[in-house]
Chains A and B, each alone.
Chain A
């Protein structure tokens, strides 16, 4: 069964960048797209974007255009999400999901001066 394992918690200062990784076990990495979803403390879910591991096509949430980049490394079955120019309201748990059925454990990113 496919599992997604994300990188550990991060603490960043405003204006910095963060790169979260999401490693897939199993051989379905290129079959489905990887989506990234975040959840601020006590808030709802926010879709950030999607990347095809097959051809690298991306679709980003309009709100994050210009600040987010999603990439994949098929040789290691790993997806990455980089968010730049961090602000305090980027503090959230960041999830990767494969085909919406398999989810990573979440990565807490805290942005604080």
Chain B
């Protein structure tokens, strides 16, 4: 089973700053089947990125994904107030494991 490790656990930033979130896989993720989700308290997750770098419908272009193989990154170019949330990566090439999440909090 592929294990995903996200870092950091918590990211403390101010609105307008750049956020860089990491997701590392224990083995190569096939065909870049890597997705990123945003989750706010009491809400279902929201798909942001699929295929490692493709934005889902309606997702602002300040969100971008990159990477391949075992190392993936989600970048939020300029944090808006509504971006403070928990972010999860998920690989869906071999079953569908999630990372443990990164919380982006207001500094």
Write the residues of chain A forming the contact surface with B, with a CB cutoff of 8 angstroms.
35, 37, 44-47, 49-50, 59, 61-62, 95, 97, 100-101, 103-106
Contact = CB atoms under 8 A, between A and B. Distances in A.
B35 interface: yes
B95 A61 contact: yes
Interface of B: 1, 35, 37, 39, 44-47, 50, 56-57, 88, 90, 92, 95-101
Which are the 8 A-B pairs with shortest beta-carbon distances? A47-B96, A103-B44, A45-B98, A44-B101, A100-B47, A44-B100, A101-B47, A45-B88
Contacts of B46: 103
A95 B37 CA distance: 14
A22 to B, nearest CB: 12
A59 B44 contact: no
Contacts of B98: 37, 44-47
Contacts, number: 45
A95 B47 contact: no
Contacts of A106: 44
Nearest to A46: B98
A44 B88 contact: yes
B95 A62 contact: yes
A100 B95 contact: no
Given A95-B44, A105-B44, A106-B44, A35 B101 contact: no
A39 B24 CA distance: 21
Given A35-B96, A45-B45, A62-B1, A101 B57 contact: yes
A95 B44 CA distance: 8
Given A47-B95, A61-B95, 18 more contacts: A35-B96, A44-B88, A44-B100, A45-B37, A45-B88, A47-B90, A47-B96, A47-B98, A49-B96, A62-B95, A95-B44, A100-B35, A100-B92, A101-B57, A103-B45, A103-B46, A104-B44, A105-B44
Contacts of A49: 96
